């Protein structure tokens, strides 16, 4: 609306200025011709007033305005000047012709200088705009460089911890298996002893938990080779939602799956690993939310990418925790391993994708996953 009104305003202003310039020229010429019997000096002084409309026309409309206005004044004034030639001294005649020439020169010169000033101003504004764009570009490049440096540091930490985890898991798993078998044998032998049976049950549960932790360590430390295939993103999400249903029902949480035409977009991925990403993110949302409420799942798209976003209604993520979310073994949960988001980050790196985590409005967190389009 404003862009449409600006040209209209400029046209109205230009028309108004033209009318004012024309009226001044007409008034001055009328005074000359209606008072032609006055002294010649009176007309010479009045002739100087013609500079005003000429200079304004040149400043307002550039060289064209100055030349046209001075040319019109010359045509209007020459008949009166010719009529007065007989009563003028030679010096006065030359002075009048010089004045007429000066009016034309001043009109052209003022218009030329005004146009040069406008060109210089436009160049300055253009340079200022280019400088502003360069500053913004440098700022974006700086942010991108910081992001890439952060990812490099993250990858280095993940690699180092991965090697350490693999060796540690391998060393622990063998004695853990012996302990588990020994506890099972002890439980069978002391079947009638309630206290011993209870202790054995607790020990077996802890062995199972430790075994699951070791399995996660190995999965994190020794990533599988990608077995890519083309598949619709909506199909992957549907399978992930089916797998997560028991956890949703147990926590009385409703999952809102928003469907759109983006569900049909194809990605070339390892389906098993991407389903692991979906499960990890949904499980994190369920644990963050607790009992009840709704989790929002929808397909999203960026230039060259398609993926999904999960939004929960939990307490959100504090700014102190945010920088460490992808660090292996970092967790705020009592029984968490701190490997869930690290595994997600690694899988997305392998696929050339991106993960973003942010707080959603005043409550809850939003996790976005983007994969390259086929």
Domain 229-372: which CATH number of 3.30.70.890, 3.40.50.720, 3.30.565.10, 3.40.50.1970: 3.30.565.10
Whether residue 5 has pLDDT greater than 60: no
Average pLDDT of 152-165?
Answer: 69
Confidence of residue 272 (pLDDT cuts 50, 70, 90): confident
Looking at residue 260, its pLDDT comes to 87
Which of 43-52, 125-134, 156-165, 211-220 tops mean pLDDT? 125-134
Looking at residue 181, its pLDDT comes to 84
**How many Cα atoms within 13 Å fall on the side-chain side of residue 84?**
25
Looking at residue 308, its pLDDT comes to 92
Q: Tokens for 53, please give them.
A: 């409309």
Dump pLDDT digits (tens) for 100-112: 788 888 888 888 8
Average pLDDT of 67-91?
Answer: 75
Dump pLDDT digits (tens) for 297-319: 999 988 889 999 998 888 888 77
Cβ contacts of 274 within 8 Å, gap of 6 or more: 236, 267, 347, 351, 371
Whether residue 167 has pLDDT greater than 70: no
Confidence of residue 50 (pLDDT cuts 50, 70, 90): confident
Which of 66-75, 222-231, 318-327 tops mean pLDDT? 66-75
In this structure, are residues 110 and 52 in contact, taking their beta carbons and an 8 Å threshold? Answer: no
Q: Where are the domains of the chain?
A: 2-135, 158-221, 229-372
Looking at residue 43, its pLDDT comes to 62
In this structure, are residues 44 and 89 in contact, taking their beta carbons and an 8 Å threshold? Answer: no
Q: Picking from 18-27, 119-128, 143-152, which range would have the lowest pLDDT averaged per residue? A: 143-152
Separation CA 141–CA 135 (nearest Å): 10
Average pLDDT of 35-64?
Answer: 75
The average confidence (pLDDT) of the chain is: 80
Average pLDDT of 136-145?
Answer: 87
Whether residue 214 has pLDDT greater than 60: yes
Q: Tokens for 222, please give them.
A: 């020794």
Separation CA 42–CA 45 (nearest Å): 5
Confidence of residue 10 (pLDDT cuts 50, 70, 90): confident
In this structure, are residues 70 and 107 in contact, taking their beta carbons and an 8 Å threshold? Answer: yes
What is the enclosing helix (H) or strand (E) of 91? helix 90-189
Q: Tokens for 44, please give them.
A: 């010479």
Q: Tokens for 1, please give them.
A: 């609306």
Looking at residue 1, its pLDDT comes to 46
């Amino acid at each position: 609306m404003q862009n449409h009104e600006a040209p209209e305003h400029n046209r109205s202003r230009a028309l108004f200025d033209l009318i004012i310039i024309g009226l001044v020229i007409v008034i001055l010429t009328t005074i000359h011709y209606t008072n032609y019997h006055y002294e010649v000096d009176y007309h010479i002084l009045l002739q100087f007033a013609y500079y005003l409309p000429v200079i304004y026309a040149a400043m307002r409309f550039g060289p064209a305005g100055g030349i046209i206005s001075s040319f019109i004044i010359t045509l209007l004034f020459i008949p009166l000047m010719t009529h007065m030639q007989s009563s003028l001294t030679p010096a006065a005649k030359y002075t009048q012709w010089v004045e007429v020439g000066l009016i034309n020169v001043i009109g052209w010169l003022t218009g030329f200088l005004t146009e040069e000033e406008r060109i210089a101003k436009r160049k300055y504004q253009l340079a200022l705009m280019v400088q502003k764009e360069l500053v913004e570009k440098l700022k974006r490049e700086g942010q991108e460089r910081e992001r890439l440096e952060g990812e490099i540091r993250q990858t280095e930490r993940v690699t180092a911890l991965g090697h350490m985890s693999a060796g540690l898991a391998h060393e622990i798993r063998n004695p853990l298996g012996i302990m588990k078998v020994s506890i099972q044998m002890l439980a069978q032998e002391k079947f009638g002893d309630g206290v011993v049976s209870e202790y054995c049950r607790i020990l077996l549960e802890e062995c199972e938990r430790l075994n699951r932790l070791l399995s996660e360590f190995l999965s994190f430390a020794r990533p599988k080779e990608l077995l890519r295939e083309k598949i619709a993103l909506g199909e992957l999400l549907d399978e992930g939602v089916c797998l997560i249903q028991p956890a949703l029902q147990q926590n009385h949480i409703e999952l809102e799956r928003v469907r759109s035409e983006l569900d049909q977009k194809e990605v070339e991925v390892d389906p098993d690993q991407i389903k692991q990403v979906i499960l990890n993110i949904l499980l994190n949302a369920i644990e963050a939310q607790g009992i009840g409420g709704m989790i929002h799942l929808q397909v999203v798209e960026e230039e060259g990418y398609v993926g999904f976003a999960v939004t929960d209604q939990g307490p959100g993520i504090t700014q102190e925790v945010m920088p460490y979310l992808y660090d292996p073994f970092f967790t705020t949960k009592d029984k968490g391993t701190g490997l869930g988001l690290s595994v997600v980050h690694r899988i997305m790196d392998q696929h050339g994708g991106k993960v973003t985590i942010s707080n959603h409005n005043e409550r809850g967190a939003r996790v976005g996953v983007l994969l390259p389009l086929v």
